[in-house]
Amino acid sequence: MIRIITSIPALNAGIKMVGEGTLDHRHDVRTGDKIEAVAETFNTMAERTLKPI
């Protein structure tokens, strides 16, 4: 439970960083649950924004 409580604010902060233009930021969340899955999906999305069309 503690991992989830600390992971959500970290994920939120990282999302804000990308939203503010730090497009090379990636999340390193290792909770083994859906929070980690969300972080991995977000990392994939952020990576795709850096690739040329």
1-53 tens-digit pLDDT: 566 677 888 889 989 998 999 989 998 888 888 989 999 999 999 899 888 76
Question: Would you state the structure tokens that stand for residue 45, as one six-digit string?
Answer: 């999305």
What is the pTM assigned to this prediction?
0.74
Q: What is the pLDDT of residue 2?
A: 60
Q: What is the pLDDT of residue 52?
A: 77
Token pair 């804000």 is found at 16
- The Cα 11–Cα 14 span in angstroms is 5
Domain count, the chain: 1
Domain with 39, as residue range(s), is: 2-50
